[in-house]
Structure 1
Amino acid sequence: MSTPLAVTRIGHACQLIEVAGLRVLTDPWFTQKATYYQGERVASTVADLGHLDAIVVTHEHYDHCDLDGLIAGGIDLGTPLIGPGTVATIARAKGFTDVRVVEAWEAVSVGELTVTAAPAKHGVHEVTFVLQAGGRTVFFGGDSLRVPELDTIPERFGHVDLAILPTNGLCIRPMNLEQVVMDAEEAAALTAVLKPALAIPHHYAFHSGRLGDQMITKADQDPRHYADAVARLAPEVAVRLALPGTLVTVP
């Protein structure tokens, strides 16, 4: 029997991954401010999450690194927090006491969990993550663009059970619509390479408010575009569009 693996989408890129009895929170975002709107309900408070074995943070953007929200919600500051050096500097300054730095292809362990950073590309320094425990493997894509190094994940880590990928193709209007996040087609093409048992899109409901959407960001908010693209490019891969708060069990 396979080691149990499940994921609950809290909102945006914040996921609660449960594998081999370990509970890992990704890219926390629990609060809201001008030009940063989840666009969907946040499925849990920090307090209601319960015990966490680790927190993994891909980069320092507010919608992925809401450490103030964690602290205000009563997070245990001794919880292992894993991320690149840019995130580690912020986390230590805010009082987190077990901060572990990983850059691309470096790994750390928390009990039976191994967290390996993989390459990424975004508007700031970012890593993505491969999480492994009990013979299960999860790829967490943060909000990276698709970079060629990610195609090597299956040969480096073997079978991928779950892939969680951004899909909104976020573009920055003041930067001549420079794209900073992979879009649905790019995410589907990466899915075809990763060949996970299950793929879940995220990072699509976010918006910048009525004025911000007109002046700051442009993005695809429909995850069905990703599901349709995977159906064309990797029809053997199951896709689940998970609402916040829904527990998804990975076969």
Structure 2
Amino acid sequence: MSTPLTVTRIGHACQLIEIGRLRVLTDPWFTQTATYYQGEPVAATVQTLGRIDAVVVSHEHYDHCDLDALTAAGFDLDVPLIGPGTVATIARDKGFRDVRAIEAWEGTAIGDLTVTATPGKHGVHEVTFVIQAAGRTVFFGGDSLRVPELDTIPDRFGHIDLAILPTNGLCIRPMNLRQVVMDAEQAAELTAALRPTLAVPHHYAFHSGRLGDQMITKADRDPRHYAEAVTRIAPDINVRLVLPGTPVTVP
């Protein structure tokens, strides 16, 4: 019998991944500013998360690296925090005491949990992650663009049980609509290459406010576009669209 694997989206790219008794928090974001809105309810507070065994952070943007919210709420700063060097510097400055800096194809172990950084590309330096324990494998895509090297993940790590991918194709208006996040079609193509048992989209409800959406960002906020693309490209792969706070168990 497989070890239980459950994922609960707290909001945006903040996910609680549970493999057996191991609990991993990804890309924490619990607050908002004048130009950063979750666009959906946040399903937990830092205080109600419960025990966390590791935090993984893909890059330093506030909506993925809200470390001030963790420290302000009394989060245990001895919990290992894993991310690229840019994130590691910030985490150490915030007082985290067990900071693991890893870059693409480097890994670190926390007991029975192994976290490997995989390539990513965004407006700033980013990595994605393969998270493994007890024979289960999760790919966490942060808010990366479609990176061809990610197609090699099944060859390197074996079968992917769960793939969590961004889908909003975020573009920056003042930069001539430069795209910085994979869109629904690109995420579906990556899903077809990864061939997970289950795929879950995230990073689509976010918006920049009424003026920000007109002047700063442009994005696709409908995850159904991703589900429809996967159905067309890889119809045998199961996709789940879930509300924040809804636990999803992976077969």
> What TM bracket, shorter-length normalisation?
over 0.9
Amino acid at match of 2:124: V
Residues 57-104 of structure 1 show CA distances to partners (whole Å, capped at 9, x for unaligned) of 000000000000111122001110000000000000010000001100
Q: Which residue of 1 aligns with 2:24?
A: 24
Amino acid at match of 1:243: L
Q: Is 1:104 the equivalent of 2:104?
A: yes
1:30-179 pair list within 5 angstroms: 30-179=30-179
Residues 141-194 of structure 1 show CA distances to partners (whole Å, capped at 9, x for unaligned) of 000000110000000001000000000000000000000000000000000000
Q: Secondary structure at the match of 2:181?
A: coil
> d(CA) in 2 for partners of 1:70 and 1:226?
31
Deviation, structure 1 residue 20:
2.6
Q: Secondary structure at the match of 1:48?
A: coil
> d(CA) in 1 for partners of 2:70 and 2:212?
26
Tell me how many residue pairs correspond in the alignment.
Answer: 251
Amino acid at match of 1:29: W
Q: Secondary structure at the match of 1:60?
A: coil
Deviation, structure 1 residue 21:
1.2
> d(CA) in 2 for partners of 1:73 and 1:5?
27
The alignment's C-alpha RMSD in Å is 0.4
**Identity rate, percent:** 80
> d(CA) in 2 for partners of 1:53 and 1:202?
22
Q: Which residue of 1 aligns with 2:216?
A: 216
> d(CA) in 1 for partners of 2:222 and 2:73?
30
> d(CA) in 1 for partners of 2:11 and 2:74?
19
Q: Secondary structure at the match of 1:227?
A: helix
> d(CA) in 2 for partners of 1:187 and 1:148?
12
Q: Secondary structure at the match of 1:174?
A: helix
Unaligned runs of 5+ in 2: none
Deviation, structure 1 residue 236:
0.7
Unaligned runs of 5+ in 1: none
Q: Which residue of 1 aligns with 2:193?
A: 193
TM-score, length-scaled by structure 2? 1.00
Q: Secondary structure at the match of 1:130?
A: strand
> d(CA) in 2 for partners of 1:67 and 1:216?
24
Amino acid at match of 2:114: T
Q: Secondary structure at the match of 2:248?
A: strand
Q: Which residue of 1 aligns with 2:236?
A: 236
Residues 199-249 of structure 1 show CA distances to partners (whole Å, capped at 9, x for unaligned) of 000000000000000000000000000000000001110000010000000
Amino acid at match of 2:101: V
> d(CA) in 2 for partners of 1:77 and 1:21?
20
Q: Which residue of 2 aligns with 1:2?
A: 2
Q: Is 1:183 the equivalent of 2:171?
A: no
> d(CA) in 2 for partners of 1:47 and 1:181?
30
> d(CA) in 1 for partners of 2:111 and 2:5?
16
The 4+ residue runs of structure 1 with deviation greater than 3 A are none
Amino acid at match of 1:141: G
> d(CA) in 1 for partners of 2:119 and 2:193?
16
Amino acid at match of 1:170: L
